Amino acid sequence: MATSVNPTIERWRIIVEGIVQGVGFRPFVYGQARQLGLSGFVFNDSSGVNIEIEGAPAALDAFKKVLTTRTPPLARIHFLLVESLPVVGSASFIISHSRSGARRLALIAPDSATCDDCLEELFNPADRRYAYPFINCTNCGPRFNIVKDVPYDRDKTTMAPFRTCRTCQAEYDNPLDRRFHAQPNTCPVCGPQVSLLYAHRKDLKAANPVEAARQLSGTILAVKGPGGYHLACNALSNEAVSRPG
């Protein structure tokens, strides 16, 4: 006997292109799908984000509206296509592994200034990221500066050599956390550190690299971040010019 299909259920494929990788778009999709009682999956590919989603038509319409009106702060949708698919009866909604493809059209967000939530942690002596200069989350931090290839995943960024500690990994894996699937996520335990390297002035104490750099009056400093060299500045005049990474 043929299996009956619930006529009140539909399944859609939604293809989204634009700045939708590295900005918390997949976690956003995940949260909205769960909230609306929809099932299916979402994954990054070389073009952008691919979603297959199933549920009641009204919920699907609400989901589509949310995609274009309540996206994460750094996301920008340039193209959205909806296609109907046969219903498969999926039971839950998941974030699937990224998939590479021949079309390499995915756009990566520019680096973003530290958000208010991260700033609050940065200046809180009780927080584990207190004074950590590489603090970031899905709403801020390095993006274009660290990417090496698409789809945008940690193994395709300059952060790949830094293996996350258990606490950072727990944040990355928690759908309710602000750092859920935040690829540059690290902390003082597992992430890059600040150091001062110099050819001269070997007598200079560098216990605090930032304070030590301020003592190098008249010296040209090359500032290197997780993605490469970005800045050259005169320590005496505090003048700075941007350089390619």
Structure tokens at 33: 């799908």
For the ranges 2-11, 142-151, 232-241, the one whose mean pLDDT is highest: 142-151
Question: 38-65, pLDDT tens digit by residue?
Answer: 999 999 888 889 999 999 999 999 999 9
Question: 5-29, pLDDT tens digit by residue?
Answer: 566 899 999 999 998 888 889 889 9
Strands 220-225 and 10-21: unpaired
State the average pLDDT over residues 56-79.
Answer: 93
Structure tokens at 190: 């597992």
Amino acid identity at 97: H
Question: 157-177, pLDDT tens digit by residue?
Answer: 889 999 999 999 999 998 789
Look up the CATH architecture of domain 10-106: 2-Layer Sandwich (3.30)
Tell me which of 15-19, 42-46, 78-82, 241-245 is least confident: 241-245
Q: How many residues does the chain have?
A: 245
| Torsion 66-59-80-106 (CA) sign | positive
Q: Above 90 in pLDDT, residue 104?
A: no
pTM exceeds cut of 0.95 = no
114 pLDDT band, cuts 50/70/90, is: very high
Strand partners, 54: 11, 39
Residue 9's pLDDT is what? 92
Alpha-carbon span 46 to 106, nearest angstrom: 6
Q: What is the domain partition of the chain in residue ranges? A: 10-106, 194-245
Closest CA to 38 of 27, 50, 28, 52: 52
Contact 81, 132 (CB under 8 A): no
3-state secondary structure 121-150: HHCCCCCCCCCCCCCCECCEECCCCCECCC
Question: 195-206, pLDDT tens digit by residue?
Answer: 887 766 665 555
Residue 33's pLDDT is what? 96
State the average pLDDT over residues 60-84.
Answer: 93
Interhelix angle 57-69/25-35, rounded to 10 degrees, is 150
Distances (CA, A) of 65 to 59, 68, 80: 10, 6, 11
Give the CA dihedral 140, 146, 150, 153, nearest 10 degrees: -60
194 pLDDT band, cuts 50/70/90, is: confident
Name the residue with higher pLDDT: 206 or 34.
34
Q: What angle do CA 138, 232, 149 make, to 5 degrees?
A: 40
Q: Above 50 in pLDDT, residue 235?
A: no
